[in-house]
């Protein structure tokens, strides 16, 4: 792969779910945790967003879990049309809508306020100059008591820790069958595209948006889940 050319479209889509499970520790467990957390926030007449829904599998399972709740609607937002096409083919549900939109420009507040918004390893791919505004929009869209659940790759707060974590993460990918060349090529392709923040930087952005109640709900190496309640 060339520098800075990673795309979430084309041939990668058919193998995306298999690939991501091998690339991100506890990827499926994170989905399971979100499903269980949703029971605390999803009610009848709730509106739920997922930002960056990729193949749509998480939104589909959420919609299925809460399918008996009246007038509850799930909206999965994804910028890549190829992903949307795949999702509509594989993960249809009457209470789930897939939208091809860019969260940088999409108006969350055009619908009713939501009870839960999810970002599962999405913010890290959005240019840093746009992130605070997106966090602000998320906070403003949530009903009081609503939840923002965000999973992100995070940077360590110290160079020594970063070196240790990077080495362990490389070992993880090697153990999952990736070759050294594949790992190097992927790293090169993500230059300037994947821009993780530290745990503290993510928390700071949440606080600037208005969130006060914030907790880490899952952490393994440089992968972390956050729950913020308005």
Q: Taking the domains of the chain in order of start, what are their residue ranges? A: 10-229
Contact 104, 131 (CB under 8 A): no
């820790």: which residue's tokens? 161
Separation between Cα atoms, residue 169 and residue 172, nearest integer Å: 5
pLDDT, averaged across the chain: 92
211 or 191: which leads in pLDDT: 211
Work out the angle at residue 80's Cα, subtended by the Cα atoms of residues 47 and 173, and round it to the nearest 5 degrees: 100
pLDDT at position 139 is: 96
Q: How big is the chain by its Cα radius of gyration, in Å?
A: 17
Beta bridge partners, 77, equal 51, 99
pLDDT at position 132 is: 97
pLDDT at position 4 over 80: no
């945790």: which residue's tokens? 33
Residues 6 or more apart in contact with residue 184 via CB below 8 angstroms: none
């790759």: which residue's tokens? 153
Token pair in block for residue 101:
């939109």
Q: pLDDT tens digits for 33-42?
A: 999 999 999 9
Length of the chain: 230
The mean pLDDT value for 103-117 works out to 88
3-state secondary structure of 77: strand
Q: pLDDT tens digits for 58-104?
A: 999 999 999 999 999 999 999 999 999 999 999 999 999 999 999 99
Residues 6 or more apart in contact with residue 92 via CB below 8 angstroms: none
Q: pLDDT tens digits for 170-207?
A: 999 999 998 888 888 777 777 767 899 999 999 999 99
Identify which of 84, 27, 95, 18 has the alpha carbon closest to the alpha carbon of residue 61.
95
Any idea which of 12-21, 76-85, 127-136, 181-190 has the lowest mean pLDDT?
181-190
Separation between Cα atoms, residue 126 and residue 106, nearest integer Å: 14
Q: How many CB atoms lie within 10 A of CB 79?
A: 21
Full-model pTM? 0.92
Confidence at 12, pLDDT banded by 50, 70, 90: confident
pLDDT at position 191 is: 72
The mean pLDDT value for 149-163 works out to 96
Separation between Cα atoms, residue 101 and residue 107, nearest integer Å: 10
- State how far the alpha carbon of 164 is from the alpha carbons of 23, 120, 158, 182, in Å: 18, 24, 10, 20
Contact 83, 54 (CB under 8 A): yes
The mean pLDDT value for 93-122 works out to 92
Burial of residue 170 (number of CB atoms within 10 Å: 0-12, 13-18, 19+): middle
Task: Report the CATH number of the 10-229 domain.
Answer: 3.40.50.150
């Amino acid at each position: 792969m060339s520098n800075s050319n990673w795309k979430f479209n084309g041939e990668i889509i058919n193998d995306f779910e298999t690939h991501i499970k091998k690339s991100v520790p506890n990827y499926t467990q994170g989905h399971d945790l979100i499903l269980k957390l949703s029971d605390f926030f999803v009610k009848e007449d709730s509106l739920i967003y997922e930002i960056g829904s990729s193949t749509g599998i998480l939104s589909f399972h959420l919609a299925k879990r809460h399918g008996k709740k009246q007038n509850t609607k799930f909206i999965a937002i994804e910028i890549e049309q190829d992903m949307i096409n795949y999702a509509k083919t594989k993960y249809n549900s009457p209470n789930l809508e897939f939208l091809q939109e860019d969260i940088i420009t999409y108006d969350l507040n055009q619908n009713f306020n939501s009870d839960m918004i999810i970002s599962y390893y999405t913010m890290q791919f959005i240019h840093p100059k746009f992130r605070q505004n997106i966090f602000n929009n998320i906070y403003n869209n949530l009903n009081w008591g609503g939840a923002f659940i965000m999973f992100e790759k995070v940077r360590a707060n110290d160079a020594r820790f970063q070196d240790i974590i990077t080495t362990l993460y490389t070992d993880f990918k090697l153990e999952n069958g990736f070759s050294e060349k594949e790992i190097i090529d992927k790293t090169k392709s993500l230059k300037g595209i994947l821009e993780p923040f530290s745990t503290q930087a993510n928390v700071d952005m949440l606080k600037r948006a208005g969130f006060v109640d914030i907790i880490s709900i899952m952490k393994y190496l440089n992968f972390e889940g956050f729950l913020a309640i308005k």
